[in-house]
Structure 1
Amino acid sequence: MPLLPDAGHIPTTEELAEIDAWFAAYDGYSARREIERMADVAVFPLNLVSDDSQGNGAAAQWDRARFVETMTQVMGGGDEDITFESTRTPVFLSPAMVIVFTDSAMTAGGHTQRLRYADILIKRDGAWAFQTMLQGGWGDNLR
């Protein structure tokens, strides 16, 4: 596969720091299971792209209520925090659009799970918010 020529937006140090800060805050909400706060930094309807247990691609749009309901169910109501160790690679399409690829290790209750996913964030009124989530294995929840 040929490499694409340099294209898109070359982020400034400040823009990269904004993305790092956004994910630090979001990971904190996730770690504390603050689902409503997670929803506060999303743009609804939220696009989700995944695959299901049958190996088929799946896509859906969720409103805020569906996001909160599903994430509450998935993340459970445990008392211990969830920890994340993540390596992120942002690819800016413009100063207001970025795709962020993440390799992460999530630990909860002594069990660690490795994750690979991507998020599309957009900047509105000076603040970043996620608009699309891409991750394998969620397709059965998208029906």
Structure 2
Amino acid sequence: MAELPEQVTDSAAFTPSAEDIASVEAWFADYDKMAARGDAAASADVAMFPLNVVSDGPSGNGSAAQWDRETYLATMSQVIAGGTTMDSTREPIFLTGNLVVVITNATFTTGDQVQRVRYADVLVRRDGRWLFQTMIQGGWGDYLGTSQ
């Protein structure tokens, strides 16, 4: 086996600081406000395109797609239509100081309708700011426009 670069092996020892964790929590607080307003354009501004979208569908098969900004806006404009409140708990799992996988358990409430969901996001820090690069959530596979 080839010797791994030091940066790769150093990642095994990374422990996020309180500031690292707070920066991810602040990013999600801002994103949640955008979603509550139904502001898909603002949420697109904090994404890294092409955006990876991973899901599965009723057939039980996994599915993945890459979205450009236009595809994201067309889809998310319908998904985050505004008027929804969200209560969530998040668990950030830092791979390095610049890569974090965040597991979210959330309850969405729109009027009298309450839905519970679990999903994950991969955030990448670029030029000192977090951007989401991958969205992972079950059940959307039939809507990704990819074969399963």
The 2-side partners of 1:47 and 1:137 are apart by: 15
84, 98, 101: which one aligns with 1:99: 101
Aligned residues: 135
Partner secondary structure for residue 72 of structure 1: helix
Question: 5+ residue gaps in structure 1?
Answer: 1-6
Structure 1 vs Structure 2 CA RMSD = 1.4
The 2-side partners of 1:54 and 1:30 are apart by: 29
Task: Name the TM-score, length of structure 1 as normaliser.
Answer: 0.90
Partner secondary structure for residue 139 of structure 2: coil
Task: Name the TM-score, length of structure 2 as normaliser.
Answer: 0.87
> What's the % identity of the aligned pairs?
53
The 2-side partners of 1:108 and 1:65 are apart by: 26
Partner secondary structure for residue 16 of structure 1: helix
115, 118, 124: which one aligns with 1:116: 118
Question: 5+ residue gaps in structure 2?
Answer: 1-11
Point out 4+ residue stretches in structure 1 off by more than 2 angstroms.
Answer: 73-76
Deviation at 1:140, TM superposition (A): 1.2
The 2-side partners of 1:8 and 1:114 are apart by: 34
Deviation at 1:55, TM superposition (A): 1.6
What pairs up with 1:56-71 in 2 under 5 angstroms? 56-71=61-76
Map of 1:137 onto structure 2? 139
Deviation at 1:82, TM superposition (A): 1.2
Does structure 2 retain, via aligned residues, the 8 Å contact 1:91–1:98? Answer: yes
